[in-house]
Structure 1
């Protein structure tokens, strides 16, 4: 297990340092935060805190969109240290554009065939906002309920073993990294996310049985 952790850190470090990937850096940062958070504030003992975290993983994403857009209107901007992009590098334009379209059809959403005027490809750069904008309020509400329910079910399993601890930390890291990107929904990342979720829900039982055999 340690080998895979080291391999993952090396790969993430390569993305951050060589490709200057903000998403990889934020995912690594959030993973470290949640790893130590769950270690010292065990979810099964801090149920309200874990419930808030699960809600924020979904609705905090939309709050981030609103906050980011509002801050961009102040005129402040700067180039981020290490990375080659500025703090406000275009996401605010995408999010404002699709919001203006969404308010015209809030129930059904704008669909995935919409051609952005503010970006060269259809990339919402925010997973939860993508669900809301593309599919509308009803589908988003159903999706939010399902996602939060499943995250809440992780609460008593997070600290079952070192495997579930690492996997749960990674799951929440992906959710929070998806405030600024789409890794939560990219097809390429789906097998990884499914593996992490499977590890959280079933990993402790599988490895404990393996240890007894």
Structure 2
């Protein structure tokens, strides 16, 4: 009759958990990043919820626009530029301003490399302002699903472009942050236990913990 002592079973379990973490089977950690810049009295904070996603992941991209002087800026339209391998998540585009959260659809153009919100057609107006310390910014956000056709390990640029009463801002298409796609959903590296794979290596690590007679 075979049996396994509690101490040996505990050691195998601990080693297994440690080996899984070491070999990349732990919980994936999102890597959010923000790019900040300023131009013509407006400060931009553009945040991506995970700049190192895996294929199949969904990421959120948010751009906050904030005035630093007393001249109001009214946004006519805004394009959110993204790699063509990202797919826009329907109904996720939102604009958040001092009046609350507004849906952008159906006034949203979909293009393989950008989405564009037309705020001249909406029932609300997007106006950012700063009056005697009363700052009223606006944030445009949307979600995208990362496609399997995204180039792995390559920095893919993102950015914005928009038209306002203060002019056409066309120089921010690649201001970032960039995203770098890699791995598989969950942060693992794949493998089914074949020779040379992470699971195969795990099997070798655990091979020495056989049953006691």
Q: Same fold (TM over 0.5)?
A: no
TM-score of the superposed pair, with normalisation by structure 2:
0.26
The structure whose residues are more often helix, as a share, is 1
Asked which structure has the greater CA Rg, the reply is 2
